[in-house]
Structure 1
Amino acid sequence: MVKTLIDPRIKAEGIKEGKVEGIKEGKIEVARNLLALKADIDMIQKATGLSSEEIKQLHANK
């Protein structure tokens, strides 16, 4: 049997952080798609939960 020095709590924390980051990236992708469809910023905010500042930054960085 092989033992590792990885603390299970640290591993679980890393997995949780990865999920949060993935969810955020998904919201950003949806916002970009909605911007491409010329959706209103308020609608994008409601659909993604992103702030208007985040959405405006995405729009500016096309």
Structure 2
Amino acid sequence: MTAQYRAPTTREHSVNETTETPTLTATPKEVRAWAKENGHDVGDRGRISKEIKAAFQAATGRLAA
């Protein structure tokens, strides 16, 4: 006898599928925007200080890239 293919009854997610949950790591652009809105002195380019990253994480609960 030959084996028959049976489609799964529930949708399975592959590893490469994206989900609609927000990412926990913020982009530098997001961190800079937050910093400027909250009175921190941050440049448009270059490294973001660890103090600003720490303040961002404390305020938002998200990691800074």
* TM-score, scaled relative to structure 2: 0.34
Task: Name the structure with the higher helix share.
Answer: 1
Task: Specify which structure has the bigger relative contact order, considering alpha-carbon pairs within 8 angstroms and separated by 6 or more residues.
Answer: 2
Task: Name the structure with the higher strand share.
Answer: 2
* TM-score, scaled relative to structure 1: 0.35
Q: Rg bigger for which structure? A: 2
